[in-house]
Chain A
Amino acid sequence: MTTEAPTAVRHRDGVAVIDLVGDVNAGAEESLELAWAAATAERPDAVVLNFGATGYINSTGIALIVGLLAKARARGLPIRAFGLSPHYREIFEITRLADFLAINPDEDTAVHGTEGGRHG
């Protein structure tokens, strides 16, 4: 069982892509903080969260994503996502995370920001 998400940060076309791996739960907090710091250090145009390699996301993980959204909002930084399973896409919609984090079907769309979504 994976208890934390080792994250990697890539930069592509002026956008920082955070590749989340494994579970997004309380154990992912520290690595997510580090990834966020690395992703935003070079002042990207946007941050993209890649959920393609994640498994289980619980309510604590959702709270961590809310925390990232709050940070992005504070600096006027768009934040987008892709790779979510239908189930977690539903959860992002129920919780209205999807209103503040554009959910895209793939990385290209997410990086180029062509999908809709409100950005606080």
Chain B
Amino acid sequence: MTTLTGSLRRRFLGRPAATRTAELAKAPQGEHTAAVDIAPNDPLLAYLQSAKGPVDVQALQLDSPALVALKAADVKLAVPLVSQGELIGVLNLGPRRSEQEYSTDDRRLLDNLAAQAAPALRVGQLVRQQEAEARTRERFEQELEVARLIQQNFLPKELPELTGWHVAAYYQPAREVGGDFYDVIPLPDGQVGFVIGDVTDKGVPAALVMAATRSVLRAFAQRLIDPGAVLEQVNDHLSPDMPEKMFVTCFYGVLEPRTGRFRFANAGHDVPYVKTVDGSVELRARGMPLGLMPGMSYEEKEMDLSPGDSVLLHSDGIVEAHNARREMFGFPRLKEAVARYPGGADVIDRVLADVHSHTGPDAEQEDDITMVTFQRSAAAANQPPEDLLAEFEVASVEGNERLALERVGLAVAPLKLSPARLERLKTAVAEATMNAMEHGNSYRADQPVCVRVLAGPELVRVQISDRGEAPPAEPAEVPDIEAKLAGLQRPRGWGLFLIKNMVDESREINDDDRHTLELTMRLGGDDDD
């Protein structure tokens, strides 16, 4: 009689229960020969499943390829291994060494052996199966963690503070991380780009596409400004490398904070809403999702946001949230919520409460939920427009701060700043230009410092921009003359200190490829002369 060899055991244990296999061991020398697989639709399976004890293979008549193979391999007996009514394996025996037929006692012994072995084999199979499932689960969780990390790294770490505006954002990934993303991009001339998007698919693939989309969009946003042109270029760049069956919906708008003008384009993303005195307004613009095919154009629209108006960009995790009856939260409900609730951060909290109320307290979040809102302060009624008095560049060459100082002095001459305030502004401009040439542009003559002078009825602003190549070398410490004289601080390090003391306000504006220091001087301010 052949025995259940180690090889045979491995074959049975290593296969899923749904796949029936037979193993052949040639009896005379106890040698192990090739296995015989039984296809799932082979009638031999049904026969063995219902057989009462060992089956005489040579005498069996069935239209079965596996049976033909077994006979060809000189298998005499097939002993079904059945556990809880399920055929989990077959013990195949070749001819007896004595070359006699298997006796009734042999068959009874084999039947008993099969009855004992089948449950043990089944336990082994289940253990293997659970181990495999645990490994799969672990790998899945690791992938989710990677996806979360990618997404978190590509979301804004902080939101800009815009004078006269309240900006807020909310992002909550689903357990199986989706492809939501948002971004707020500082643009030239004080403009700000707002992005919200959603990548089809989930997990690491979606996170990678999201990261690529965000980077490409940031790059084009700086160069092109116009939202439609930006989406067009992003689409052209993403399309060739977009994985099959994946695409990105994306809404992109450019806000001029000073005037409230908001230009936007939409690549198939859920339509944002604006809360106005007249209720909810939809920001509709036509455009295909990104990454489907190159050469698409994107309709560009614009809206003037009045004081008090509040824009809500959102992802489909809100409107597609289901309740227990599988009803969606839906666009009408969201639109109505935007009209009813206060704008700004309040609308985020209230919409979330409504969504949770809709889904029920114990419901698992189905998809990522993302909201970005920006509201124009009601007090920011019609800020007066500013005039561009001058815009020029100076090469990053030592001493050129004097050129900037003199040109700014000429540009602001019509504003009739008091002599003392004019001198302060010029010193601040010179110091800021020096910092830009030295720290931002590393004194590379081919990297100019850009200077813009803007004036409104009440103030003058000077923006000094560099390439932002290196972090400022100025120490964070406040310069202390006594520490310097005692050798505890280096003699230098007065630049930022002077700037801050010379003007009414100074602030840094950083974006991907440049650093700007904006100096503000009120007109008609206190004169210390």
State the A residues within 8 Å of B (CB): 1, 3, 23, 25-27, 56, 58-60, 62-64, 66-67, 69-70, 73, 85-87, 90-91, 94-97, 99-100, 120
Contact = CB atoms under 8 A, between A and B. Distances in A.
Contact of A63 (B402, B405, B494): B494
Contacts of A1: 399, 402
B423 A87 contact: yes
Contacts of B529: 86
B501 A94 contact: yes
Q: Which 9 A-B pairs have the closest CB atoms?
A: A59-B494, A87-B423, A63-B491, A63-B492, A96-B481, A66-B491, A59-B495, A67-B491, A62-B494
A100 B492 contact: no
Interface in B467-510: 479, 481-482, 484-485, 487, 490-495, 497-498, 501
Given A69-B485, A96-B481, A59 B402 contact: no
B484 A70 contact: yes
Given A64-B491, A86-B529, A56 B402 contact: yes
Contacts of A99: 481
A56 B492 CA distance: 17
A77 B212 CA distance: 64
Contacts of B490: 63
B427 interface: yes
Given A86-B420, A95-B481, A70 B491 contact: yes
Contacts of A25: 399
B498 A91 contact: yes
A56 B431 contact: no
Nearest to A23: B402
* Main secondary structure on A side of the interface with B: helix
A116 B281 CA distance: 70
Contacts of B492: 59-60, 63
Interface in B28-58: none
Chain B CB within 10 Å, residue with most, of A64, A66, A85, A120 = A66
Nearest to B529: A86
Interface residues of B, number: 29
B513 interface: no
Interface of B: 398-399, 401-402, 405, 420, 423-424, 427, 430-431, 434, 479, 481-482, 484-485, 487, 490-495, 497-498, 501, 528-529
B485 A120 contact: yes
Contact of B528 (A67, A90, A97): A90
Contacts of B497: 95
A74 B491 CA distance: 15
A3 to B, nearest CB: 5
A52 B528 CA distance: 22
Nearest to B401: A58
Contacts of A60: 434, 492
B420 A90 contact: yes
A26 B424 CA distance: 20
Given A58-B427, A69-B485, A120-B482, 7 more contacts: A1-B402, A56-B402, A59-B431, A66-B484, A85-B423, A90-B420, A100-B485
A62 B495 CA distance: 10
A59 B434 CA distance: 9
Nearest to B474: A59
Contacts of A90: 420, 424, 528
Given A67-B491, A90-B528, A58 B430 contact: yes
A36 to B, nearest CB: 14
Contacts of A62: 494, 498
13 contacts: A26-B398, A27-B398, A58-B427, A59-B492, A60-B492, A63-B490, A66-B484, A66-B491, A69-B485, A86-B420, A90-B420, A97-B481, A120-B482
Nearest to A85: B423
Nearest to B431: A59
Chain B CB within 10 Å, residue with most, of A1, A58, A62, A99 = A58
Contacts of B427: 58, 87, 91
A91 B481 CA distance: 13
B491 A56 contact: no
Contacts of A63: 490-494
A73 B431 CA distance: 28
Given A90-B420, A100-B485, A27 B399 contact: yes
A59 B498 contact: yes
